[in-house]
Structure 1
Amino acid sequence: MAVQERPPVVAGPERRAQLTLFARNFFKHPRMLGSIIPSSSFLIRRLLEPVDWERARVIVEYGPGVGTITHEILGRLHPDATLVVIETNDDFVDFLNRSMTDPRLKVIAGSAENIEEELERLGLPAADYVVAGLPFSTMPADCRERILQQSQKALAAGGSMLIYQFSPKVSSDLRQIFSRVESTFEPINIPPAKVYFCHK
């Protein structure tokens, strides 16, 4: 499998701007973010481990925030693939549109509940992978269920939803909706995270 060129490491003033924006929004919306700092490289590596980068042509990410995971996906993504990120926070949407110019990236201001409509609007087929770090444990149950069900429907046959959480509360919902759910744990993150690989 060909090794994809990775984007440059975000450092200096841009990195500080990312962390400041993330922390400011954590204090404004702590239930939406769950952590005061972005995901660690260890968590990202574990989360993306199952992805077949050579095969994947459509990947969707929910709640990209300042793009920590987005950068890593783009660094591995096939040249002919598309990454769709769906974000409800206007500050993050604006930041992503200003800081990332990769033509494979589509930034959507909206809700993960509308994933099928968004893929159809963009003229894209079903997703090979959905990557999510949304705080499912703090969502109303009906909202959580709608997002998970719509995500399952939006996946291609054999597709997977890759999720990280700081609470195990969502585990039972995942096992009701997906045919097979694997789980693992990443301790090197603040806070430590549970990782789920949910297969259609």
Structure 2
Amino acid sequence: MTSTELAREALPQRLKRKIKHSLGPWGVFIEGFLRNPVMVGSIVPSSRFVINRMLGPVDWANCKLFVEYGPGVGTFCRPVLDRLGRDGHLIVIDTNPLFIDYLRRTITDSRFTAVLGSAADVEDIVRAHGHEKADYVLSGLPFSTLPDGVGPAIASATYRVIRKGGAFLVYQFTPKAREFMARHFKRIDSGMEAINVPPCFLFWGWKDED
């Protein structure tokens, strides 16, 4: 192959990188969605209205470990870190290496850890980072489109890893996630946020004290 042919072949790649760079986190998010739409669920990050409502019930003064599934490009990460105490820790888990690499490069907060892995392994991941339980777990994973058995496995592991008094925070575009949550969480608060694309169902599953 001649140098001219090589240059022609490389041009689309250079153009792709230039477009991606100009879009910033949106470019990373869109690429991640196109690579694996089943796991990302939406091509548009959550609105600030969803973020504020989801995080509103959290008792930040007593939150030492906050876990997030499917962080994408960090739409929730920075708001969580802004609210988290100095001795708190945020662990995010994603199966998409594109997102994990982006988060590791752009969030340098010492309280933050990005893990490439499955939410179904949350118990092992939490223990590997020196914790026994999580206070809160947040998820935007699309439960209705996950492969068979994955949704129930994640819901079960999440219930076990949350401390008593903690909660599983879930935002979805369908109410399907509530079915998975209800198998473990007896008390589930629910809501809906219309100022989002698309409108979003919100759930808070509480692990009550016995």
Q: Normalised by the size of structure 1, how large is the TM-score?
A: 0.90
Aligned in 2, Cα 1:26/1:123: closer, same or farther, shift over 3 Å?
same
User: Percentage identity across aligned positions?
Assistant: 41
Equivalences for residues 24-35 of structure 1 within 5 A: 24-35=31-42
- Report the secondary structure of 1:106's partner residue: strand
Counterparts of residues 29-108 of structure 1 (less than 5 Å):
29-108=36-115
Structure 1 CA distance for aligned equivalents of residues 25 and 64 of structure 2: 28
Tell me the alpha carbon deviations over residues 119-158 of structure 1, each in whole angstroms, 9 at most, x when there is no partner: 1111113000001100111013411000000000000111
Contact 1:58-1:125 at 8 Å conserved across structures? no
| Larger mean Cα displacement after TM superposition, 116-125 or 75-84 | 116-125
In structure 1, give the amino acid aligned to 2:93.
I
Q: Aligned Cα RMSD in Å?
A: 1.4
Any gaps of 5 or more consecutive residues in structure 2? Answer: 1-19
Question: Number of paired residues?
Answer: 188
Which residue number in structure 2 is paired with residue 126 of structure 1? 133
1:184–1:196 CA contact under 8 A, matched in 2: yes
Secondary structure at 1:54 match in 2:
helix
Alpha-carbon spacing, 1:193–1:175, altered in 2? closer, same or farther (3 Å): same
Deviation at 1:57, TM superposition (A): 0.5
Structure 1 counterpart of 2:163? 156
- CA deviations on 1:28-58 (whole Å, 9 max, x unpaired) are 2222222111110000011111111111001
Structure 1 runs of 4+ aligned residues shifted over 4 Å read none
CA distance in 2, matches of 1:184, 1:14: 36
Q: Any residues of structure 2 matched to 1:162-181 within 5 Å, and which?
A: 162-181=169-188
Alpha-carbon distance change, 79 to 23 in structure 1, aligned in 2, over 3 angstroms: same
Q: Distance in 1 between matches of 2:163 and 2:148?
A: 25
CA contact (8 A) 2:21 2:27 kept: no
Q: How does 1:3-42 map to 2 (within 5 A)?
A: 16-42=23-49
| Structure with greater Cα Rg | 2
Q: Find the residue that maps to 2:62 and give its secondary structure.
A: coil
CA contact (8 A) 2:193 2:201 kept: yes
Q: Deviations over 1:60-97 (max 9, x none)?
A: 00010100100110111100000011111000010000
Structure-2-length-normalised TM-score: 0.86
**Superposed displacement of residue 14, structure 1:** 8.0
Query: CA shift at 1:169, angstroms?
Result: 1.5
Aligned partner letter, 1:83: L
1:110 aligns with 2:117: yes
The structural deviation recorded for 1:172 is 1.9
User: Is 1:138 matched up with 2:128?
Assistant: no
**Structure 1 unaligned runs (5+)?**
1-12
